[in-house]
């Protein structure tokens, strides 16, 4: 029965330590970033992909123009 009391005391102490650490870092602003870098990189890849698609379309148009100009000469 004594071991049960010891285990309860240890688990409550550990929970209190975690709570104190959480409160300290919450006050320092650790959790203020609403949009984490992991989410931001997902949005960035879509924008980069769109830019690459736009660049590819421009290149294709230029190639078609140059082929058309070569044939007309």
Name the phi and psi angles at 48, rounded to 5: -65, -40
Q: What pLDDT score does 24 carry? A: 95
Q: What pLDDT score does 31 carry? A: 78
Average pLDDT estimate for 21-45: 78
What is the average pLDDT value for the chain, to the nearest integer? 79
Q: What pLDDT score does 66 carry? A: 76
The tens digit of pLDDT for each residue in 34-56 reads: 667 667 677 655 555 566 666 77
Asked if residue 49 lies in contact with residue 55, where contact means CB atoms within 8 angstroms, the answer is no
């Amino acid at each position: 029965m004594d071991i049960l009391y010891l285990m309860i005391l240890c688990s409550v102490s550990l929970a209190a330590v975690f709570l104190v650490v959480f409160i300290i870092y919450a006050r320092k602003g650790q959790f203020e970033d609403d949009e984490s870098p992991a989410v931001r990189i997902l949005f960035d890849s879509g924008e980069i992909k769109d830019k690459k698609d736009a660049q590819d379309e421009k290149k294709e148009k230029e190639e078609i123009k140059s082929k058309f100009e070569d044939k007309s000469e």
